[in-house]
Amino acid sequence: MSFLPKVNLRRTFLIARRDYLGYVKTWGFWISFLLPFIFGGFGFFMATADIDLTPTQYVTVLDETGIHKSGLDAMYDEMLEDAAQNAMSAKAFFIQDKAKRAEFQRALRAEGTDAAAAYITENVPGLSTEFPPPVADFEFIEPPANMLKDLIPYLRDEKPLTLDGKDVTLGGVVIFKPGPEPAQPIAQYWSTNVNKVDAPDLVNSYLKRLARVSYLETEGLSVTELDRRVASAPEVANFNPVKAGEEDQGVNSSDTVPFFVATVLAFMLWLTVFSGAYMLLTSMLEEKLNKLLEMMLATTRFSEIILGKLLGVAALTLSMMAPYIIVGIVGVVGYVAFGPDQDVVKGLVSAFDARMIIFLIIYLILGYVLYGAFFIALGSLSSSMQDAQTLTTPILFILMACAAIIPLGLSAPDSPLLRIATFIPFSAPFAAIVRLPSDPPLWELLLSTAFLTLLCIGTIALAGRIFRFGVLSGAGAEVVVAWFKRVVLRRKA
């Protein structure tokens, strides 16, 4: 007697093909397939169409003290300069030379965008110094009236306000009133939009700065100098002892990229397993409700139907994931070929080493088969979508728990929880993948794979029995209990 069930490949292919085409011909498949392109196109359109989704808010300042408006304006300019520095910092991505990149970043932080642009012009010829100008969420304008009571109609949009020939609405009013000390004014913010707090946030920053300035400068210290020194303070250098034998022992992108890649791959694996298993459930339920299985069983083995479904939905899931996979592969290959940051290139190459590719394929197959077989069995026991939801809830909780442990791979790849999860077949595919960049012992991976394989075989055998029972019975959640008592507990009804 053969250990593995017999299958006729032609019949298995025909069942897989029908399942595949059955889904491919639906609108839902094409919407899912085209979703990344639709989102990409939408994003491109939004970026190029220059549509302002968050129109600028116009805020005015009534400064009864006569000393704070100019300070607030200066703070506003600094805010724009910070935004410009953030935009300019993206240039570092294109500077291949590590030393030049570090110097560029230092100049940007300590001396501003003009100094950083000058550095690029001088040291990185060919790299543009242009960057998108920062756009503030709000803008200060001159007050249309000098008393709050006269500004209220503008805030309520009861009175028109024209700015550069354009009708606008007054979004807020900042009021400074004299306080106990010049550095402690009473500040108020009036607006009908209570959720938009960009302007009051800036005022708060200004008031905090004012408190520091008033304290430090009475002691004869310069706040500007303090800020400059903080910006140009040295940073801690990270080293990894595993790299002790290497020329450069410092931690850089080549060390961190594999962990990010593994986390992304584990999430993709989870998504593939989840969507594949769920499609198997609905496919099985459709067969059950269509009452076709019994007719097929006169000419087809149970094992062929299960295998055909697993293969058909696997092909379908891969088709649905294809746009993401292709974009991912093109992105990685493109960066490895043309990417400016060699540390990232090195990290990508090491992330996709042979071990990762081999174990990714193994865990993808085993994870899909394990959850797929469970969902097929549960689908065959269900007689309605409600039944299916009730029966699959415990497995969905397990899958959710598996998704929750994946991020641990970034911060604590060798945490006890991840190590234990590697040996639990339900979580092994995801836990093992996120641990791979931290070089777990090979025996752990092999043992984990062995446990998973054994459970897969057991699950398929069990799923076969449940499938056989479920298909030929009226089924429904209530019969699961009866079946369990009779077949597993061997109790008489």
Partner 1 sequence: MTAPLALHAVSKSFGGKPAVSGVSFTVEPGQIIGFLGPNGAGKTTTLRMALGLIKPDSGDVKLFGDTPGESAFGRVGFLPEERGLYKKQTAREAIAHMARLNGIKKKAAFTLADEMLDRYGLGEAKRKKNKDMSKGMAQKVQLPAAIAHDPEFHILDEPFSGLDPVNQQVLEDMVREIASRDRTIIFSTHVMEHAERLCDRIILMASGRKVFDGTTEAALAEAPRRVTLASEMDGLAELVERFAVSVDTHPGGDLSLILKPGAQAHDILERSVTQGLRLSKYEPIRPTLHEAFVTLVGEDVRQDMDLNEGPLA
Task: Report whether 280 contacts 388 (CB < 8 A).
Answer: no
Beta carbon nearer to partner 1, 295 or 326: 295
Distance CA(481)–CA(479), nearest Å, equals 5
User: Residue 436 — φ and ψ, nearest 5°?
Assistant: -55, -40
Instruction: Output the smallest distance, CB 37 to partner 1, in A.
Output: 25
Task: Report whether 209 contacts 75 (CB < 8 A).
Answer: yes
Instruction: Output the smallest distance, CB 346 to partner 1, in A.
Output: 50
Stretch that binds partner 1, among 17-25, 69-77, 123-131, 181-189 (CB under 8 A): 17-25
Distance CA(149)–CA(156), nearest Å, equals 11
Distance CA(485)–CA(493), nearest Å, equals 8
Binding to partner 1 in span 464-483, by CB under 8 A:
472, 482
Please state the separation of Cα 248 from the chain's center in Å.
Answer: 31
- Residues 6 or more apart whose Cβ sits within 8 Å of residue 405: 417, 418, 421, 427, 430, 431, 434
Task: Report whether 208 contacts 219 (CB < 8 A).
Answer: no
Does the footprint of partner 1 cover residue 149 (CB under 8 A)?
A: no
Stretch that binds partner 1, among 9-17, 187-195, 250-258, 371-379 (CB under 8 A): 9-17
Residue reference for tokens 């001159």: 142
Beta carbon nearer to partner 1, 149 or 291: 291
Beta carbon nearer to partner 1, 18 or 196: 18
Instruction: Output the smallest distance, CB 9 to partner 1, in A.
Output: 13
- How far, CA to CA in Å, does 214 sit from each of 65, 206, 208, 283? 16, 12, 10, 71
Beta carbon nearer to partner 1, 14 or 197: 14
Stretch that binds partner 1, among 11-19, 124-132, 390-398, 415-423 (CB under 8 A): 11-19
Instruction: Output the smallest distance, CB 55 to partner 1, in A.
Output: 47
Please state the separation of Cα 22 from the chain's center in Å.
Answer: 31
Indicate the SS3 state at residue 108. helix
Burial of 83 (0-12, 13-18, 19+ CB in 10 A): middle
Residue 459 structure tokens? 């699950």
Beta carbon nearer to partner 1, 280 or 445: 280
Total interface residues for partner 1 by CB under 8 A = 27
> Mask: binding to partner 1, 266-305, rule CB under 8 A, as x and -?
--------------------x--xxxx-xxxxxxxx----
Beta carbon nearer to partner 1, 300 or 382: 300
Beta carbon nearer to partner 1, 10 or 149: 10
- Nearest one of 162, 156, 181 to 173, comparing CA atoms: 156
> Mask: binding to partner 1, 18-57, rule CB under 8 A, as x and -?
x---x--xx-------------------------------
Instruction: Output the smallest distance, CB 276 to partner 1, in A.
Output: 20
Q: Which residues bind partner 1 (CB under 8 A)?
A: 6, 10-11, 14-15, 18, 22, 25-26, 286, 289-292, 294-301, 472, 482, 486, 492-493
